[in-house]
């Protein structure tokens, strides 16, 4: 019913993934002591089986396993506590952003220096893909459903929960930095990482799509 009810319970997640950070931020936001939660390292498919079978009490997971767990456990009283920046906790229902997952494309500095045209071409393809997803979702559903071996109805819901855009802005950089800072606070990394200064290179996207980089840093 509340986040504090997770204390003393078994919660599965893929350790060292974004869901490790998400679960810690969830507890920090909603008042749960993460040190009192028994965290079990479980891959997605195994976690669904464990949750539905009653071997764990909670599970932090991404799609499509989120939907699979709810469908498989619909007769067992399973229900979400937080999804897509919305809280379903009793007394704390409604919009609540605690985590936004971004897809980040990394390349080695040496590769970027030697192959700028290849990187630019890849970004142009990504931009076309984003445009297609946003303007042709009905057509995209069966394509992705076939690729990921999911029913069309399930894939439609997954696509509907995703915002597709190729942008580097202040909000996204701030969110990624917040993730790094919490990992340091939770002692999951040893040194602070300044994402904007050490890992971010806006030059390739600026070359391909200048208006997609409103980042002020």
Average pLDDT value for residue range 136-154 = 91
Number of separate domains in the chain: 2
Which pLDDT score, from 0 to 100, does residue 26 have?
A: 94
Say if residue 204 is in the same domain as residue 120. Answer: yes
Residues 19-36: pLDDT tens digits? 888 999 999 999 999 999
Q: Tell me, what CATH number does 11's domain have?
A: 3.40.190.10
pLDDT at 1 over 80: no
pLDDT at residue number 217? 81
**In this structure, are residues 205 and 123 in contact, taking their beta carbons and an 8 Å threshold?**
yes
Q: Are residue 65 and residue 91 in the same domain, yes or no? A: yes
Report, as an integer, the average pLDDT of 182-186: 84
Q: Where are the beta strands (DSSP E) in the chain?
A: 10-13, 38-41, 58-59, 82-83, 86-87, 94-95
Percentage of the chain surpassing pLDDT 90?
A: 67
Task: Find, among 29, 80, 27, 17, the residue nearest to 51 by Cα.
Answer: 80
Q: Can you tell me the distance from the alpha carbon of 184 to that of 25, in angstroms, rounded to the nearest whole number?
A: 13
Confidence band, pLDDT 50/70/90 cuts, at residue 161: confident
Partners of 94 in the β-ladder: 87
Contacts of 199 (CB under 8 A, 6+ apart): 106, 193
144 DSSP 8-state letter: H
Taking the alpha carbons at both ends of the chain, their separation in whole angstroms is 41
pLDDT of 160 > 90? The answer is no
84 with 114, same domain: the answer is: no
Alpha carbon distance 94, 88 (integer Å): 7
pLDDT tens readout for residues 70-118: 889 888 889 999 998 899 999 999 999 888 888 899 999 999 999 999 9
Report the chain's mean pLDDT, rounded to a whole number. Answer: 92
Same domain, 84 and 128: no
pLDDT in tens, 41-71: 999 999 999 999 999 999 999 888 998 898 8
The reply to whether 217 falls in a domain is no
The answer to whether position 174 is within a domain reads yes
Using only C-alpha atoms, the chain has a radius of gyration, in whole angstroms, of 19
Is the domain of 129 the same as that of 180? yes
31/26 Cα distance (integer angstroms): 8
Together in a domain, 77 and 44: yes
Q: Are 208 and 166 in contact (CB under 8 A)?
A: no
What pLDDT sits at residue 59? 96
Q: Which domain holds residue 39?
A: 3-95
Same domain, 114 and 208: yes
48 and 14 inside one domain: yes
205 and 113 within one domain = yes
148 lies in some domain: no
Q: What is the pLDDT of residue 95?
A: 94
Which element (helix H / strand E) includes 203? Answer: helix 203-208
Query: Is residue 18 domain-shared with residue 72, that is, in the same domain?
Result: yes
Q: In which region does residue 148 sit, left (phi positive, over 0), alpha (psi from -120 to 50) or beta (all else)? A: alpha
Half-sphere exposure of 33 (CA within 13 A, CB side): 4
Given pLDDT bands bounded at 50, 70 and 90, which one contains residue 18? confident
Task: Supply the pTM of this predicted model.
Answer: 0.76
Do 114 and 198 sit in the same domain of this protein?
yes
């Amino acid at each position: 019913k509340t986040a504090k009810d997770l204390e003393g319970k078994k919660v599965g997640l893929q350790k060292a993934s974004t869901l490790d950070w998400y679960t810690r931020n969830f507890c920090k936001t909603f008042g749960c002591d993460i040190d009192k939660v028994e965290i079990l390292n479980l891959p997605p498919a195994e976690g669904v089986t464990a949750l539905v079978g009653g071997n764990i009490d909670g599970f932090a997971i991404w799609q499509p396993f989120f939907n699979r767990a709810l469908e498989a456990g619909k007769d067992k009283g399973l229900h979400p506590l937080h999804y897509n920046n919305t809280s379903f906790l009793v007394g704390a229902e409604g919009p609540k952003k605690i985590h936004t997952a971004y897809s980040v494309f990394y390349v080695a500095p040496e590769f970027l220096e030697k192959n700028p045209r290849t990187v630019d071409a890849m970004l142009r393809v990504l931009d076309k893909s984003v445009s297609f997803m946003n303007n042709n979702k009905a057509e995209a559903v069966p394509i992705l459903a076939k690729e990921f071996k999911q029913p069309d109805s399930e894939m439609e819901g997954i696509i509907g929960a995703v915002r597709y855009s190729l942008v580097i802005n202040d909000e996204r950089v701030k969110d990624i930095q917040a993730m790094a800072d919490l990992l340091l606070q939770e002692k999951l990394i040893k040194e602070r990482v300044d994402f904007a200064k050490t890992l971010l290179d806006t030059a390739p996207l600026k070359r391909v799509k200048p208006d997609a980089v409103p980042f002020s840093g």
